[in-house]
Every structure is written in structure tokens, then in C-alpha cells.
A and B are shown apart, each in its own frame.
Chain A
Amino acid sequence: MEEKPESQSAVPEVPEGGRMSRRRFLTYAGIGAGVAAAAGFGGYWVLSRPQPPLQWWGVGTGNPEQDVWPGLGDQVIFSTAPWDPVPVLQRMRTGGRNEYDVISNAGTLDDPLAEDGSIVAFEPQDVLPSWSKIYPELRTNNPTITVESTGEIVGVPIVQNGDSVAMLLDEIWGPGTTVPGQGGDTYGLLFDEQFSQKTAMESSWACAIYKVGNYLAHNNLATLSDPDTYNTADLNTIKNFMLAEKAANQFRTFWTGWETAVGLLTTKDVLAMDTWEPVVFALKAEGINAYYMDPKEGFYLWNIPIYLTPRGNTVTRDRCLRLMEWTLQGWYGARITTIRGYLTATPDAITYAQANPNAQGGPYDSAFIQSRHDKVKGKFSDGVSVYGNQSPPNIQAYQDTWTQVIA
């Protein structure tokens, strides 16, 4: 008997000439079809699976407070961040940069956040169609959206205002007063002994310290350096002034929290206090003749940009950019200005309100939005108002100064 060659016995199903047997062909074809089907279904499942919502960690001021955000077409979970630089920096260092897609906080936090690698630079002018619509007063705000050391843009401005003093016109200048009388255009009202025990200041240094500094510097009561970088001597000057005022029983209290701020003025416990502008809106809504000061010393300017985290720049970049673009558009702007009176970044808010007065979360009054935009833009271009720095390099000295003042 003739022996078969070894090669033939090793692959018996493959006939001569390399042709596959029908059985083997069908087997391979079946396996191939199975794998292809599995891959197809798997791919379909992956692609059709709902994406997890974007994670936005920001101060509550930027939250539109509606379940559905019209025009966005994506799901976002907004979680509230503190208006306090150190916890924000620490949270971002300890994992926040990999948990949140975007964050929004005080604009002057951008430098330390960028130095930590918690936010990243990008080219908004290339990737955000509405970038060019941003009011020039805001787009050129170097302290808040641009890293000082590199000049790179890291944020998109979304909410801004200038803070001063809320006051009760009827109680200070007489019933029916519609505009403040003498002394109603200066932070000196807070230190006027005529209103001893009838004024209050905020317990946090972040806003109050700059208002006092502006008052002292503008009225030549002291020589201070740039508010961004108060040195120890500047801070001591502010501290000594405040301690003297406190010793003279000038202040009713150092307030903390929205409810206390509104309550102090509603009950007329105080007649003037440094606080946020929405407090005045809340008082007016209750029929109280309240007014927000236009101080000759200038407003304390602040803004809140939205930033891209390392996670947002890689894993969810396209969605994050869509969200950023959306914050520059009509509904978001109209909503934020309507509920808080703050300035949003583009005039789209006004045109949107004109065209959609009854859109979700409305009604939207385009005249009111226009007036608020004009008013706040004016604060940013008056040449007197200054940005406070939420995160000065010598933050311990700032904190110590104000702690001694209120202790």
C-alpha cells in the first residue's frame, strides 16, 4: 500500500490545489458571519447606548435652574461648587479634574487652576461660533479668562456683575425718595456715624475687603497698591480702619448667607450694607424701596467663566464645546439675566427674549434684559471699577486681615 505524504494527512480536508472542502468552507463562513454579527450588534449597542450626562461643577449663580435646557440637546448634571477658592482648588487637585467635564467659578481663579493642570487652554475663537459675539468689555478681560503667565485663553465668560451697596431709600432720605440723596454714591455711607449700628458688611473678605480698599484709596484716606496685590502694609491699613469703625459700634453685624442679607434689610435692622444686587431685586419684589448704589469709588467687578477640565478636553471634548457654545446663546442668557439680573456674555439674550418671550422658564422681558446688559456693561467700562482677586498669592494675609476685623 502506498503511503500518503505527511502533508496531505495534516490537512486532509483541503483538497489538492488548495481548495477548501465544502464542509470546512461552511464552518468558516458560519464562524465569520457569527463574529461579524456579534461585532455589529456590539458596536450598535455601544453607539446607541445613552451617553452619561456631562458633569458641570459650578457656583450656583450660573445654574439656569430648569429641568430641561432648551437648545442644548445633551444631558448635563449641574452640581454646586462653593464660592471659596481654596476648597475649589483642593477638590480639583484631588480628582475633580477627572470627574468633572467643565467647571465654572470666580474668574480670578483661572491662574492657579491652570497652574495646577485642573483646567486646560483651548482656542475658543476657532471652535465656538458665538465667540465673536461676546461683548468686547468681557472678551478682553485678561484677569478672568486668560492665564497671566502664558497668555492662553482658558475660559468663556458666562455670568458677570459689579457689586456695591444695597440701601433703603425711604429710611435714609425720606419716604418716596426715588434716587439716593447726598452720600448715596459712596461706600462712605457704610461708615457714616449717622447710621451707627444700622450698616453691615459681609463676613467674607472676598468682596468686602476690596470695597473698603477702594473707598480708602479713591478718597485719599490711604495710599494702597493695586487691589489685585495688596501687600501686608495695605492690608494692615484696611484692617486698622475697619477695627476703628468696629470699635465705634458702626456695624450691626457681619452677615453671611442670602437669607440673612435679605432679612437684615427687610426688617430694617440695617439701612445699608455691602451685598449682591439680586438682594435689591428681592426687596423690590416685596414692595420695599431699595436701591443698588452706583459708587463713585467704582464697583467690585467679578465674573464667572466656564472652564474645560482635562477630562472635558479629551473624553467629552465635543460635547463640552457644544455646552460652552450654548452658554453664549439666547436661552441661557435670557434665563440668567431674568432670574438674577446679571450680565451674560452676548446680546443673543436680548434677541432671544424678543423672539421667544414665553419660552421655557419665562416670561422673558427683552427690555429688562437690555437694560440690565447696558447697566452692567457700563460697570465694566467705567474706568473706575476694579476686579477683586479671589485668589491672591498672599491669600493667608487677606484671610487673616478680615478674620481679625470680624473676630
Chain B
Amino acid sequence: MLPPKSSGLFDRLAEYFADHPRILLTLQLAPAIVFVAGVVFVPLASVFAWSFWTMEGRRLVPSFSTDAYARFLGSTGDTFRLEVFATSLRIAVTQTAVSLVLGFAIAYFVGIRMRGSKYVLPLLLLFAVPFLTSYLMRTLSWHAVLQRFGLINTLLLGLGVIREPMTWLLFSEFAVHVGLLSTYLPFMIFPVWLAMSRIDSTVLLASADLGGRPKDTLFRIVIPLTLPGILIGCIFVFVGVLGDSVVPALLGGPGGSSTLLANLMDRAVGGDDLPLAGAMASITLLMAIGLILAWEFFFGLKKIGEI
């Protein structure tokens, strides 16, 4: 029997899209692409364009000048921005490493050792609770813990462990690390835990049955299967720290820890120097893209999708 003849616009369209699935996919994705382009790529492109524009008085004027990049790189003899950039990178890498070690341990405990426990979710939520308060207040609360006669110094003085308050606890790079860690650790824990929670229990049991020691299971099964979560966590922490200006401003000290890259950008904007702020933002953005490309080169981005 012959199939019924198609009639009507919808039938013809359905037939057409059935024959041309790529066009259908493009049309389905178009609204999302337009939206993302509008709210993400257009602003980023604007920032990139501004980095080549110039300020005439208080007006940003379209032109093509690499002056902002030259100033960032220290062409005028002031290399302090490069130094701040280097400090920011060092702190971001350190934070990522520390967050990875601590975050992985916590995620392993919750995702593997406590698997099936009713306490998993409450425990994870504990790490999200601080986010219910103001970021400023959360950061300021560290003053009470770290200041000259704060919780730690008072406790240690009371126990006779120290004779003088340790002033380096606050307004120092140490304080910045503490503040950043408390902020960004959950950004490592959650994706790593999510990746671990997807590892089939039978795989872990099989490893044990085949004589694998816990260390072997960890390094040969858990870590490889958790890599996508680790990558995402590292990106969250690294990028987050590079873009943070609150913690350095409130907890950093005069030794260079109170001004990181994001503070430099804030100050450039505050000084009506949008080209310089744009140049710094563009360099950070290009660096982030470079990191993603490097990952693609060595491991392949497909792995991220496996989470």
C-alpha cells in the first residue's frame, strides 16, 4: 500500500526537516546561540575592542592603539602591573593546587567512602551554607578569627603556645589564601564529587576483587574517572581567584597581597582608563582560552562532556 500523500504545510515541513536534520538542528539551536552571543560574546568583544581604543579627556574614542597593552607590559618603566599579574597567577595556581588536594580528599570521603550514606547530602550542603550570607560579611568575618586579638591568637596566647600575637595572620598573603580557600573550595568539591558519584560501585568492587590495593584503586580507577570533574573544579577555582577583588582588598596586606589582577582592573575603571582595564581583561581571557586549548591538545575536551 502506498503511503498517504502528504498534505498541508506542517506535513511538508516535517518531511523536509526529516530529510535535512542539520537544518532542523541549526534552527533549534539558533535562539540559544543568539542569546549566548548577545549576553556573553558581544560584551566580551566590546571589552576586547575597548582595549585598542583611546581616552580623549573623559571620552572613550574608537581607534587602534596598543598603548594599553604596552602600559600593562611596563613600557613606561612601571612594571608593577606585570608584578601584580605574576603574583595573581602564583596565588591562583597555589589556590587551585590546595583546593584540589583538600577538595579531592573531601569529595573522595563523601563520594566513595560514604557512598549510600544518608549523611552525604547534608554534609555537602554544609559547604554551601556560607554562600547564603553576603560575600563581604563572610570575608570580613575572618577578621574576628585572624586579627591581633582574634580567636586564634587569643587561644594560642591562652594556651601559652605564643607570647606575642601573630600579626601575620591578618593583612597578609596568608589571610588572602585563607579567605580564598574558604570561598572557592566548594567549587572544587562539587564537580569532583559529582564525577566520583558516577563511578559504578561494581568497578570499585572489581578492583578490590582482583587484588587491587586501595592505593591502586585510587590512582588507576578513581582519579582517571574523576578527571573531568577535576578539570572543571580547577577551572572554577583558577578563574574565580583571578577575578576576585574582595578578598585581597579586605584581607591582604601592604606586602603586595592587597592588590591582585581584579583589583588592578577595578582601579583602572575607577581611573577612567577603560582601555587599560580592557587590555588586562583581554589578556586574562586569552590566557583562559589558552588553558582550554592546551587541555584539548593534551587530553581532549571530549572528556569534560563525560561528566
Contact = CB atoms under 8 A, between A and B. Distances in A.
Interface of A: 84, 86-87, 89, 112, 197, 203, 246, 249, 251-254, 256-257, 259-260, 263, 267-269, 393, 395-396, 398-400, 402-404, 406-407
Given A257-B136, A403-B271, 18 more contacts: A86-B270, A87-B270, A89-B58, A89-B272, A112-B58, A246-B254, A249-B254, A252-B171, A259-B140, A259-B143, A268-B148, A269-B171, A396-B55, A398-B271, A406-B259, A407-B84, A407-B258, A407-B264
B80 to A, nearest CB: 5
A254 B268 CA distance: 18
Contacts of B58: 89, 112
A164 to B, nearest CB: 21
B107 interface: no
A251 B78 CA distance: 22
B127 interface: no
Contacts of A257: 136, 140, 250
17 contacts: A86-B272, A87-B269, A112-B58, A251-B254, A252-B254, A254-B254, A256-B249, A267-B147, A398-B271, A399-B268, A403-B259, A403-B267, A403-B271, A407-B80, A407-B83, A407-B256, A407-B258
A285 B269 CA distance: 37
Q: Is the interface of B mostly helix, strand, loop or mixed?
A: loop
Interface in B122-168: 136, 140, 143, 147-150, 167
B259 A407 contact: yes
B273 interface: yes
Contact of A399 (B57, B253, B267): B267
Interface string B216-255: 0000000000000000000000000000000001101110
A406 B260 CA distance: 11
B255 to A, nearest CB: 9
B188 interface: no
Given A203-B249, A251-B254, A269 B259 contact: no
Nearest to B175: A253
Contacts of A249: 254
A399 B273 contact: yes
Contacts of B264: 403, 407
Contacts of B250: 256-257, 260
Contacts of A112: 58
Contacts of B170: 269
Nearest to B148: A269
A253 B256 CA distance: 10
B36 to A, nearest CB: 24
Nearest to A201: B254
A86 B171 CA distance: 28
A249 B171 CA distance: 13
Which 7 A-B residue pairings sit nearest by Cβ, starting from the closest? A399-B271, A253-B171, A407-B259, A396-B271, A251-B254, A403-B267, A86-B272
A259 B55 CA distance: 35
A203 B273 contact: no
A269 B171 CA distance: 10
A173 to B, nearest CB: 20
B148 to A, nearest CB: 5
Residue from A393, A395, A402 with most neighbouring chain B CB atoms (10 Å): A395
A203 B259 CA distance: 10
A252 B252 CA distance: 10
B271 A395 contact: yes
A260 B250 CA distance: 8
Contacts of B254: 246, 249, 251-254, 406
Nearest to A249: B254
Contacts of A267: 147-150
A267 B165 CA distance: 12
Nearest to B276: A396
A260 B143 contact: yes
A403 B264 CA distance: 7
Contacts of B273: 396, 399
A382 B250 CA distance: 36
Contacts of B167: 197, 252, 269
Contacts of A404: 78, 80
Nearest to A112: B58
Contacts of A86: 269-272
A267 B153 CA distance: 12
Contacts of A203: 249, 258
Given A253-B254, A404-B78, A260 B149 contact: no
A174 to B, nearest CB: 20
Contacts of B268: 399
A263 B258 contact: no
Given A89-B58, A407-B80, A263 B143 contact: yes
A263 B272 contact: no
Nearest to B272: A86
A393 B264 CA distance: 20
Nearest to B268: A399
Nearest to A398: B271
Given A253-B171, A259-B140, A404-B78, A84 B270 contact: yes
A398 B84 CA distance: 18
Nearest to B137: A259
B140 A260 contact: yes
Residue from B150, B252, B254 with most neighbouring chain A CB atoms (10 Å): B254
Contacts of A407: 80, 83-84, 256, 258-259, 264
Interface string B268-305: 11111100000000000000000000000000000000
A234 B299 CA distance: 54
Nearest to B271: A399
B112 to A, nearest CB: 42
Contacts of B270: 84, 86-87, 399
Contacts of A403: 80, 259, 264, 267, 271
Contacts of B252: 253
A112 B147 CA distance: 42
A400 B277 CA distance: 12
B223 to A, nearest CB: 39
Given A257-B250, A269-B170, A404-B78, A263 B147 contact: yes
Contacts of B136: 257
Contacts of B78: 400, 404
